[in-house]
Amino acid sequence: MSDFALALDIGGTKVAAGLIAPDGTVADRRVRPTAASPDPETVWRPVAELVSELRAVAGPARVIGVGVGSAGPIHLPDGSISPVNIPAWRRFPLLERLAELVPGVPVRLAGDGSCAAAGEHWRGAGQGADDLLAIVVSTGVGGGLIQGGRLVAGPTGNAGHIGHVVVDLDGVPCPCGGRGCVEAMSSGPSMVEWALKEGWRAPVPAPTGVELAAAAREGDPYASQAFRRAGHALAAGIVSTAAIGDLSRVVIGGGVAAAHDLLFPPLRAAITEHARLGFLQGLTVTTAALGGAAGLVGAAALVLVPEAYVGRGVASLA
């Protein structure tokens, strides 16, 4: 039998958990909806249930550590979190609570974007790229940075957060409290909200990016423009980040990125328009190879490959 890292990927709409083998293989993966409740313990309950289920599957002695990627902001050094898209959790002591559930092994926490970057760099579309930006475009827009072949999470653990790069000085309000951020234009909910305001007639009362993508493929002008607008905003954030970090590759995943046939053409056109400096000419943009497993694989890498992915910006309890 193999040892496993128990990995968690906590987002605004779902919580994923998995057992990850030392070679990065996902041996078991389970998903629960994120509880929509103002009560912190109600939100915590499905997380605890997933951890208990997977420990039972692996056998307690086979779990050598717990790695978790969470929507942010995360708070160091205590490992608490205050996800913008999980209002019930403000300074929720996630690392401490997980250590209580799985005692005696390392428990490590990083932002979900950082974990996506680690996962794609270790076992996905970022292999071989020493300077990489990974982006998750879903209910929010997160990101993570690899520089010199190592995860760079920054002193607060929030480096690479491209969703809050400002791309429109007079833009619409963002859930973070700012204005004109990439997330305010390129996340699934923001795209849907914009299309509805412009005149899109959704087929269901509470549409998501899935319905918006279907409408765009059918030629709806408002839905199509929502994807063009999102692509342009994302491109502006990417070029700015690449110019600062001298990046060679960008990997994009998440639910919205699954509609790459709609998002990538305007994205790539806008990157070509804005990335004019010579050192940006070789920048490549590709879809994530690990799909929905990138965050889990990256969270496991915090346990399985700490020499590359654990440093300043990753919270840890032994």
Q: Where are the domains of the chain?
A: 4-115+293-317, 128-288
Alpha-carbon gap, residue 18 to 27, rounded angstroms? 7
Q: How confident is the model at residue 104 (pLDDT cuts 50, 70, 90)?
A: very high
Specify the DSSP element, H or E, that contains 122: helix 112-123
Please, which pLDDT band fits residue 102 given cuts at 50, 70 and 90? very high
Residue 19 in tokens:
């057992």
Nearest to 74 by CA among 165, 155, 189: 155
Lookup: tokens for 108 = 């490590």
Please say if the pLDDT value at position 51 is more than 70. yes
4-115+293-317 CATH, one of 3.40.50.1000, 3.30.420.40, 3.40.1280.10, 2.30.30.100: 3.30.420.40
**Tens digit of each residue's pLDDT (9 = 90 or more) over 252-268:** 998 888 899 999 999 99
Confidence of residue 1 (pLDDT cuts 50, 70, 90): low
Instruction: Classify the C-alpha dihedral 91-95-100-102 as positive or negative.
Output: positive
Q: Is the peptide bond before 77 cis (omega within 30 degrees of 0)?
A: yes
* % of the chain with per-residue pLDDT over 70: 99
Backbone angles phi, psi at 294, to 5 degrees: -60, -45
Question: Which pair of structure tokens corresponds to residue 208?
Answer: 């998501």
Handedness of CA 16, 234, 180, 196 (dihedral sign): negative
Tokens of 137: 């475009």
End-to-end CA separation in angstroms for the chain: 24
Let me know if the fold of 4-115+293-317 is the same as that of 128-288. Answer: yes
| Mean pLDDT value of segment 78-103 | 94
CATH architecture of 128-288: 2-Layer Sandwich (3.30)
Side-by-side strand order, sheet with 284-287: 150-152, 141-147, 132-137, 249-253, 284-287
pLDDT 10s digits, 279-289? 998 899 999 99
Answer with the residue of higher pLDDT: 52 or 60: 52
Instruction: Give the range among 107-121, 189-203, 244-258 with minimum mean pLDDT.
Output: 244-258
The mean pLDDT of 155-175, rounded to a whole number, is 92
